[in-house]
Amino acid sequence: MTENADLIKLYSGRILALAADIPHLGRLEHPQARVKRRSPLCGSMVSVELDMEAGRVSRFGQEVKACALGQAAAAVLGAAVIGRSRAELEAARDQLQAMLKSGGPVPSAPFDGYEVLEPAREYRNRHASILLAIEAAAEAAAEAEATNPA
């Protein structure tokens, strides 16, 4: 298979559909935490804002300037993030990283939607963009907990 054919397979209809419909786009007014992450390799950027109540994400907003893979990853996060704890976000981050970098299994529910990104394992230069949103969300949850203890 040629490189172009591989890339066409990578950018499946499901990935493109996710990229076109990212939940929780936009900024929050007065969030407890705001984290911006950028991939120096490709220039993708994600900004995440959130609030935590009783140890769980209660409000979430994100701005995503990334390739279709990064956008799809942000869409999976956006669909699952409300009601999640910092520990759940950190576990999802670690599981997604293991799935991409070391052939680990798909992240546990409710983050099992990351399964759509399994074909990206072969494209290490895309991993940073895929990880941006979940890394930013986990960092923002930790920041919100640290500055607004329950």
Residue 16 sits in which domain range? 3-147
pLDDT reported for residue 1 = 45
Minimum mean pLDDT range among 5-9, 26-30, 80-84: 5-9
Confidence (pTM)? 0.91
* CATH number where 16 lies: 3.90.1010.10
Q: What CA–CA distances, in Å, run from 3 to 16, 97, 101, 136?
A: 19, 24, 20, 31
Summarize pLDDT for 95-123 with one digit per residue, the tens.
999 999 999 999 999 999 999 999 999 88
Domain count, the chain: 1
Summarize pLDDT for 35-78 with one digit per residue, the tens.
999 998 888 999 999 999 999 999 999 999 999 999 999 999 99
Taking residue 51's Cβ as centre, other Cβ atoms within 10 Å add up to 19
